[in-house]
Amino acid sequence: MSEMDCEHVLEMVWGYLDGEVSEEEYLGIQVHISKCADCGPRYQFQRRLMVLVEQKCREGPVPEALKRRLFRLLEE
């Protein structure tokens, strides 16, 4: 397994968090974020963001205004 660079890791971090990468990619990303002073904190932020969104989505229906804003941001 070759060592991954920061750009590649950051491109794949959401797939990593969602379990949508191969086992080899998963292990490579895991090793990289555990050693990299730049990518580790970025990964931790994205992981915490994902957990927060999941928690908030369980609390009840999402307001329509928020849905519209999110979809506009995703379209950009």
Encode pLDDT of 11-40 as tens digits. 999 999 999 999 999 999 999 999 999 999
- Residue 67 pLDDT class (50, 70, 90 cuts): confident
Q: What is the pLDDT of residue 2?
A: 53
Into which CATH architecture does domain 6-75 fall?
Orthogonal Bundle (1.10)
Mean model confidence pLDDT for the chain: 88
The Cα–Cα gap between 17 and 66 comes to 24
Answer for the pair 5, 33: CB distance below 8 angstroms, yes or no: no
DSSP state of 62: P
